[in-house]
Structure 1
Amino acid sequence: MKLLLLLVLFSSLFLNAYFYFCLFLHHHQQRPPSLGWTGSAATEAEAVAAINCSGHGRAFLDGVLAGGGLPVCECNKCYYGSDCSRLLHDCPADVDSGDPLFLEAYWQQRAASSAVVFSGWHRMSYSTDGKDYISIELEKHIRILHQVVGNAVTDGKFIVFGSGSAQLINALVYALSPSNASSSPASVVASVPYYPFYKKQTNLFETRAYGWGGTTSSWANASVSSTTNFIELVTSPNNPDGQFKQPVLGSSAVIFDYAYYWPHYSPILDPADEDVMLFTNSKISGHAGSRFGWAVIKDEGVYERTANYLSLNTMGVSRDTHLRVLKLIKVMIAEKGGKAYAWLKCEWKEEEDCHEALRKGSIISRSGALFEADSRYTRLSLIKTQDDFDLLLKRMQPLVSHEDMASS
């Protein structure tokens, strides 16, 4: 009888193991679900992205087709050949104009999370879900991005979109210019050294309401400056010298161009909180070709004049661009950094020395007294190994439980 029971038990275990193995094998041999109408587009995009250009060029879906039906490599300057592997040895180093391709590797490492696929009928209408040709979700995520980075205050302010900051510069100059025909035209000025585009664009679009007024040094000590309408363009950090700048003419309306006020170009000193602030996607994500920028505006009247200019000029930015920029910003927000240290305050009345209280709980921290702060504070380093962090959480649990019990 015992032999029979053992045989039945063995047979049962064998059958369970066999069926489990079959289920495991079936699961791993299953083909991924079909992508439907996105399948061919995804396949084409991955095939082009896989074209080898020797690290000195890239192929694009809309590139010139080679004999095999695939796009050819578009080579960096000084490189040539079918795969961009050949170097022109007498080629000069061209560092005249900027092109944010240094961020290309960042997005290649995030190929899946940054990819965008949209239908052939995606947002065909002139209108958007927000007013003034604004995508509601994109505006919301731009505000979140500024909050995460800490480089600008957007609460209680208006946001407008433009085809890069280039379009927005003139839109803002127009909005800040006198609207009364009897008023003298505004003089658009900047401090040396300044971005030459400011002068070129202002001269091109000069109207009875505004014109290029030269450099701020020409007006700083002039008596006429008190009776002249100025629009001062301030780039901070500045292009080309990277210095932090402030307005020179106290009576001027100011456009703060914060194109480079992002952590990969500059230290973030404080959140900028100016009346008119200008930003461009090309500098934060590197996607200069998407032609997208935005302005943060405090005054409602200036906002309405800017929005009216953009409406008459282009009826907003490409809706396809809205979607792409939204995807990019979501990736950047998701990868936001954390603080290197936690500044902890012990609220227990009986514990005046937080460092010592944590030490009793097997947590080694750095006393706040070393920073000339109150001893109820202590610093916890978060830039350790994952094992260290996991152990910290484990050691903190009894202390948190003790506090919960004490407060209940």
Structure 2
Amino acid sequence: MAKFKGFLFGLFLVGSIALNIFFLTNNLYAGYVNKQQLSWSQRAAAEAEAVASVSCSGHGITYLDGLFLDGKPVCECNSCYGGPTCSHFLPDCVANADSGDPLFLEPFWMQHAESSALLVAGWHRMSYGFADQSSMSQVLQNHILKVHSISRNAITKGKYLVFGAGSTQLLSAAVFALSLNSSSLARVVAASPYYPVYKTQTDFFETAHFEFQGDALLMKRSSNSTGNVIEFVTSPNNPDGLLRKAVLQGSSVNAIYDHAYYWPHFTAIPAPADEDVMIFTISKLTGHAGSRFGWALVKDEDVYLNMLKYTQLAELGVSRDTQLRALQLLKVVLEGDGREIFHFAYEKMRDRWEKISQIVSLSKRYTIQDIPPQYCNFFEKVRGPSPAYVWLKCEREEDTNCNAVLRGANIIGRLGSLFNASDRYVRLSLLKRDDDFNLLLYRLKELVSKEGGANQLIEPKLIVL
């Protein structure tokens, strides 16, 4: 019995040693192979890490393609900060809430620096097309469909996908496609207040096929919607964040639905969108406006083919490098249950809206748009508003230029007339970095505190880290 136990002990000991040798050898070999595989990429990775490690006091950032001084990257400071490391706050700085740069998502991507990083080889996709001769990555298409499925914001079944250089190019491509085979001039309209690019872009590319003719609401009132009409519908709307449907109806009316903001972090999703032409953009989904990538979901095959023709003639399709970056970003979006980015972004936008609303509610001179709580298909509950913009109105009759009033308080917004609305309105962006939002909050507190009867507002304090 003792001999048998000794034999078993020896057998287990030999087996244990063999397993340890196997795992040790395997790890050493894997490390060797990994080292060999990383031989050509180590320099690029080291450069990226070196730039990313530069401290800009939390109020700036460095970039691989930014300026270098004495071989070191120069900090690009956030608004109202200066100095070599962006540590100096400029106290008289203006709160610039004009642009729609979606930089509020920077912290999310810094938290996911490793999984979102991308190293592009010098020989990556040098060809005009992919192996199947198309200009659109099939893998990226699959990821886009998954994102829509998780966010529950669009029905993709029975739709064709078209890639574009941001939604801006696709808006133009859709006008082109919908007017191409028309026997009469297509009249392009949008209901006020509307995104200014609809007019400026349509006017710029005006052809014998189409022209911009203003407000869809005016056309409806005049009952002059006969002939070929193309209506831009922004839902949720830019600038006021309200969900919209087409104003005009009829067999000769075609709608282009701009769903740039139809994501759970900007609006309740009462139901998945199912229009004939729907346009989305990565800039408002992930915040990467500079990558210039968007897509359209199109029901009609002829419209799809004509939009595809437009993008092919204009750009030979979207840059393969851009598609690769979009793919990497969507891989991160889809990690886990694919809901993290929506929760992160919604909580931030909701918090910003609530803080702004609280301040403006104490004012008798200014008001903002009313967005009622609504059931959301994504969150599966009734949720409050979290819009991208504040549509602020100066209520006093003498304040005919609201932006001028705000400029006097060191606040810059976008004038209402740019959206074909009264200049008593100003659009203020909530999409910018935390530094910019905090300054906007402070300036608004100052503004409202100066009103008579606003004593319940706590004295504004600007915390500078």
TM-score (norm 2): 0.65
Amino acid aligned to 1:281: I
Aligned to 1:307: 308
Show structure 2 runs of 5+ residues with no match: 341-465
Counterparts of residues 9-408 of structure 1 (less than 5 Å): 33-34=34-35, 35-67=38-70, 69-130=71-132, 132-180=134-182, 183-225=183-225, 227-251=226-250, 252-336=253-337
Quickly say closer, same or farther: Cα 1:303–1:245, change in 2 above 3 A. same
State whether residues 247 and 254 of structure 1, in contact with CA within 8 Å, keep that contact through their aligned partners in structure 2.
Answer: yes
State whether residues 80 and 89 of structure 2, in contact with CA within 8 Å, keep that contact through their aligned partners in structure 1.
Answer: yes
State whether residues 150 and 339 of structure 2, in contact with CA within 8 Å, keep that contact through their aligned partners in structure 1.
Answer: no
Quickly say closer, same or farther: Cα 1:338–1:171, change in 2 above 3 A. closer
Deviation string, structure 1 residues 135-187 (Cα, Å, up to 9, x no partner)? 1111111111111111111112100100001111101000011425xx22111
State whether residues 236 and 257 of structure 1, in contact with CA within 8 Å, keep that contact through their aligned partners in structure 2.
Answer: yes
Ranked by relative contact order (alpha carbons within 8 Å, sequence separation 6 or more), the top structure is 2
Q: Distance in 2 between matches of 1:234 and 1:89?
A: 41
Q: Distance in 2 between matches of 1:121 and 1:248?
A: 49
State whether residues 178 and 184 of structure 1, in contact with CA within 8 Å, keep that contact through their aligned partners in structure 2.
Answer: no
Quickly say closer, same or farther: Cα 1:139–1:101, change in 2 above 3 A. same
Deviation string, structure 1 residues 33-60 (Cα, Å, up to 9, x no partner)? 4221111111111111111111111100
State whether residues 236 and 259 of structure 2, in contact with CA within 8 Å, keep that contact through their aligned partners in structure 1.
Answer: yes
State whether residues 172 and 201 of structure 2, in contact with CA within 8 Å, keep that contact through their aligned partners in structure 1.
Answer: yes
Q: Distance in 2 between matches of 1:131 and 1:302?
A: 21
State whether residues 45 and 61 of structure 1, in contact with CA within 8 Å, keep that contact through their aligned partners in structure 2.
Answer: yes
State whether residues 258 and 278 of structure 1, in contact with CA within 8 Å, keep that contact through their aligned partners in structure 2.
Answer: yes
Quickly say closer, same or farther: Cα 1:319–1:80, change in 2 above 3 A. same
Show structure 1 runs of 5+ residues with no match: 340-408
Q: Distance in 2 between matches of 1:338 and 1:278?
A: 21
* CA radius of gyration, larger in: 1
Amino acid aligned to 1:133: S
Deviation string, structure 1 residues 289-345 (Cα, Å, up to 9, x no partner)? 100000000000000000011111110111001111001111111243579xxxxxx
SS in structure 2 of the partner of residue 90 of structure 1: coil
Quickly say closer, same or farther: Cα 1:48–1:120, change in 2 above 3 A. same
SS in structure 2 of the partner of residue 223 of structure 1: coil
Q: Distance in 2 between matches of 1:129 and 1:329?
A: 22
Q: Distance in 1 between matches of 2:125 and 2:297?
A: 25
Q: Distance in 2 between matches of 1:93 and 1:53?
A: 20
Q: Distance in 2 between matches of 1:89 and 1:338?
A: 39
Q: Distance in 1 between matches of 2:99 and 2:184?
A: 36
Q: Distance in 1 between matches of 2:299 and 2:133?
A: 17
Quickly say closer, same or farther: Cα 1:131–1:294, change in 2 above 3 A. farther
Quickly say closer, same or farther: Cα 1:323–1:119, change in 2 above 3 A. same
- Residue 79 of structure 1 and its aligned partner are, at CA, apart by 1.1
Q: Distance in 2 between matches of 1:119 and 1:165?
A: 28
SS in structure 1 of the partner of residue 175 of structure 2: helix
- Residue 98 of structure 1 and its aligned partner are, at CA, apart by 1.1
- Residue 221 of structure 1 and its aligned partner are, at CA, apart by 2.5
Quickly say closer, same or farther: Cα 1:92–1:262, change in 2 above 3 A. same
Q: What is the percentage of aligned positions where both structures have the same residue?
A: 51
State whether residues 189 and 216 of structure 1, in contact with CA within 8 Å, keep that contact through their aligned partners in structure 2.
Answer: yes
State whether residues 260 and 266 of structure 1, in contact with CA within 8 Å, keep that contact through their aligned partners in structure 2.
Answer: yes
Amino acid aligned to 1:283: K
| Two-structure CA RMSD over aligned residues (Å) | 2.7
Amino acid aligned to 1:324: R
Quickly say closer, same or farther: Cα 1:316–1:94, change in 2 above 3 A. same
Runs of 4+ more than 6 Å apart: none
**Bigger mean CA offset, 160-169 vs 215-224:** 215-224
